[in-house]
Amino acid sequence: MSTTTLTSGNDTVTLYEGFFGQISGSGWASLRGVTLDGATGTDVLIVDYPDSIFTLTESTSGVVTLSTASGGSVSLANFEQIQFQNAVVDLTPAVSTSPTAGNDVLTGSAGHDQLSALAGQDTLIGAAGNDTLDGGTGSDTLDGGAGRDRLLGQAGNDTLTGGTGADTLAGGTGHDTLSSGAGQDVFLFNAPLQSGASSDLIQDFSGSDRIALDDAVFHLGITGTAAGVSLASRPATASVLVQGTQALGTEDRLVYDAHTGQLFYDPTGSALGSSDQVLVATLGTGTHPNLSASDFWVV
């Protein structure tokens, strides 16, 4: 792989379809498989490459590689920013002497953005459009903005804000703070359950929102679907949701205490309570909503 070192000033590289590009308005050149070293100055890669999904990966030395599913790639060292048609990726915090990925700021625009972070404490802002934000590892901040967004915190103690629109928020592992904003939103729990110290806080659950439980994690006697199956579809005599602080019978799997907002999962449903129950989430801070079986869907 060859390396092209740019000038010490502020350089702009424009990348077109087929990985042909121009460096600061110079002649055309193939940039496929090339490493561009921005040297000093403020250097920007402009991607004029429509209808493609790009993947950004960062090496331990801080080199960022932009690649497509077709196999083309270009690597960037000492670059400060990548400008896509519907997103801007700020590389400034990520390019450092640290052997780990940096703290990135990824900002979308009016399009349907797909923003994925690496390691580090990242900030992903979807703005308008139906966006997918993936925090990766680290304690990240995700803000969907307007539109029908999908926010995936993954590992770390993340803060997810849906904004307006019907959003899906999945904190993943860690102690996450979830705020859906306006719209009919879904709080998705699909990560392996950990101790209560890693439970989530749902700040603003309302009557139009849903809690979606993955049937691979929560065994409730219902096979989930992509669209979701309401927990209320079970006969009343076979209810798995109990109000209070502990399971009361062998069918009980979900325990909700409206006084504290704590939602537990009891994998055994042992009568008269179980030491196995795990705190899944706390709903509300000062006040706590009432929950019924119709608020839960199995996916």
Average pLDDT taken over every residue of the chain:
82
Model pTM?
Answer: 0.68
Which DSSP string corresponds to 52-103?
--EEEEE-TTS-EEEEETTS-EEEEES--EEE-SSEEEE-TTT-SS-SS---
For residues 256 and 68, the model is more confident at: 256
d(CA 167, CA 165): 6
pLDDT tens track for 269-280: 765 555 688 999
Residues contacting 28, CB < 8 A, separation 6+: 20, 21, 22
294 three-class SS = helix
Q: Determine the pLDDT at residue 97.
A: 25
Residue 294 in this model has a pLDDT that exceeds 70: yes
CA distances, 60 to each of 16, 50, 100, 275 (Å): 27, 29, 6, 43
pLDDT at residue number 213: 96
Q: Are strands 200-202 and 35-37 parallel, antiparallel or unpaired?
A: unpaired
Q: How far apart are the first and last CA of the chain?
A: 45
Question: Tokens in use for 282?
Answer: 């706390």
Spatial separation of the C-alpha atoms in residues 74 and 254, rounded to whole Å: 50
Give residue for tokens 């992903």: 124
Structure tokens at 75: 């690597």
Among residues 29, 76, 28, 37, the alpha carbon closest in space to that of 54 is found at 76
Distances (CA, A) of 220 to 38, 160, 226, 240: 55, 27, 16, 7
Which pLDDT tens digit goes with each residue over 12-56? 888 887 777 777 766 677 888 888 888 888 888 888 876 567 777
